[in-house]
A and B are shown apart, each in its own frame.
Chain A
Amino acid sequence: MTKRLLALILSVSVLALTGCFGDEEQWHGKDISGLMPELEFELVGTGGQTVTPQDSDGNIRLLYFGFTSCPDVCPTTLTDLRKAVNQLPPDDRDDVTTLFVSVDPQRDTPERLGSYASFFGDHVVGLTANEPELRELTKRYRTTFGYDEPDANGNYNVSHSSAVYVFDRTGKARLLLRPGLSTDQISEDLAKLARDA
């Protein structure tokens, strides 16, 4: 009796394990399917217009929080993303939209954000909002940001998420690109996602 029960427990747990890890797709980024809510926001674009995810529907969306005075992390990340997107097959390149959300609305005026975003490619959209709305959005994606004390010149540092959130064409959260991935790896993930749907 005990033996049979043991065998049953074993086989059930093996089934459960293979169910969990067996046919999992292999990504370089972290698979966040089901962990995070779908893409939803209402932000201000560089022309002062309201921007929602519907504006880029059908595209793969890369959501990234930063600020234009960012000394190193943001330019590096955005450059990596541009390179990764440019490595995609020509047909897929236009299907990727990068949403750069500035969490420093004090300094990042629409004009400044616009010129900054366009520097990193045509499909980079600069977005921002007032702080409460930004707090809501970052909370939705379980991240945060904070401001340092300004120095004598009024410059201050901003802490923000270092990861890129990837949403598929339907707006479902799919991947989290942690810092440290190569452009090739990002490109492979994006190509796979582009073929998915």
Chain B
Amino acid sequence: MPDIGFLAPYDFSPLTILSFALVLAGYGYALLRMAPEHRPGSVRIVAFVVGVLLCYGVMQTRFDYYSQYMFFVHRGQHLILHHLGPFLIALSNPLPIFRFWHEQMGPSLRSWLRPVGWAYRILQQPVIAAVLFVGLIYFWLWPPIHFDAMLSRQLYWTMNWSMLLDGLLFWWLMFDPRSPVLTNALGYGKRILILAAVAIPQMILGAWIVFSRGMVYDVYEVCGRAWPMAPETDQLLGGLLTWIPPAMMSVIGILLILRRAMHEDGRFVKPSRLAGENS
């Protein structure tokens, strides 16, 4: 019999539940109300919902308990929050939903949200986005910081939310469906470059954890593990999860972008060049 208790949150966070509920409700409402020609197909809807539910699952179910008391489960949690979940959400291309809600907004709300737009544009500068993406992983895995984050409830939630939000920003920048030829979306070459660049430091960090002889993260020792597993095994598995899957996701991301770049090759011509040819 499936254990329903597993689905109950370990550390109940009303703010988290509210945010996820609002996102899903906002998405569903927009789907029903938007013009059919803009509505995303079923695969995209499934990708979005699966991405959101994955992130919710690792934050507000029993999974979170194991993430707090097992290093490798914690790495799995961040793999979903920072990589897999946002990857699926960005790939599902929720742009029509954004557009729908943008049209619903009154002008006062729009001007009120303007600072958010500024912050967004700064964070989406390619160099800043790449440094932030890798920097957050290194920051939260820096042993003294990691120790504090696992001890303090507030820091723990800050850590998980910062990973999720940064993951969303980063993968959205990578998979932005707007063509860089026609809009000011980031060029495909730059996207590929960033994906390759962020893979390397993640591989180094993962390999360092895997090959460390001593205990790098003793907080799991101090606070007790969820079940008796050898500390070396826990650290080894955690290191592998930091090393291999993120590197693979960079590769998959690069392949997806290459495919799109090849599809678009020659399909769009820059307006300026068009004008030049006519003259």
**CB-CB < 8 A to A191: which residues of B?**
none
**CB-CB < 8 A to B224: which residues of A?**
65, 143-146, 159-162
Q: Is the CB of A163 within 8 A of B222?
A: yes
Q: Is the CB of B151 within 8 A of A162?
A: no
Bound: A34/B155 CA distance, A: 11
**CB-CB < 8 A to B228: which residues of A?**
146, 148, 157, 159
Q: How far is the CB of B67 from chain A (nearest CB, A)?
A: 12
User: Is A107 located at the chain interface by the 8 A CB criterion?
Assistant: no
Q: How far is the CB of A104 from chain B (nearest CB, A)?
A: 13
Q: How far is the CB of B111 from chain A (nearest CB, A)?
A: 28
Q: B69 — nearest CB in chain A belongs to which residue?
A: A144
Residues A142 and B227 in contact in the complex (CB < 8 Å), given A32-B151, A36-B152, A176-B151: no
Interface size of A in residues (CB-CB distance below 8 Å): 23
Q: How far is the CB of B73 from chain A (nearest CB, A)?
A: 12
Bound: A36/B154 CA distance, A: 9
**CB-CB < 8 A to A36: which residues of B?**
151-152
**CB-CB < 8 A to B11: which residues of A?**
139
Q: Is the CB of A35 within 8 A of B222?
A: no
User: Is A112 located at the chain interface by the 8 A CB criterion?
Assistant: no
Bound: A142/B65 CA distance, A: 10
Bound: A143/B222 CA distance, A: 8
Q: How far is the CB of B69 from chain A (nearest CB, A)?
A: 5
Q: A173 — nearest CB in chain B belongs to which residue?
A: B151
Bound: A145/B223 CA distance, A: 9
**CB-CB < 8 A to A148: which residues of B?**
228
Residues A35 and B225 in contact in the complex (CB < 8 Å), given A30-B147, A142-B150, A178-B218: no
Most buried by A among B150, B156, B224: B224
**CB-CB < 8 A to A139: which residues of B?**
10-11
Q: Is the CB of A146 within 8 A of B226?
A: yes
Bound: A36/B148 CA distance, A: 10
Complex interface bits, B148-189 against A, C-beta within 8 A gives 1, otherwise 0: 101111011000000000000000000000000000000000
User: Is B264 located at the chain interface by the 8 A CB criterion?
Assistant: no
Complex interface bits, A28-59 against B, C-beta within 8 A gives 1, otherwise 0: 00101011110000000000000000000000
User: Is B68 located at the chain interface by the 8 A CB criterion?
Assistant: yes
Q: Is the CB of A161 within 8 A of B223?
A: yes
Q: Is the CB of B223 within 8 A of A35?
A: no
**CB-CB < 8 A to A142: which residues of B?**
68, 150-153, 156, 223
Q: A65 — nearest CB in chain B belongs to which residue?
A: B224
Please list the residues of chain B having a beta carbon within 8 angstroms of any beta carbon in chain A.
10-11, 65, 68-69, 147-148, 150-153, 155-156, 218, 221-228
Please list the residues of chain A having a beta carbon within 8 angstroms of any beta carbon in chain B.
30, 32, 34-37, 65, 139, 142-146, 148, 157, 159-163, 176, 178-179
| Given A142-B153, A144-B68, A178-B218, 16 additional A-B pairs, CB 8 A | A30-B147, A34-B152, A35-B148, A35-B152, A36-B152, A142-B68, A142-B223, A143-B222, A144-B224, A144-B226, A146-B226, A159-B224, A160-B224, A162-B221, A163-B223, A179-B222
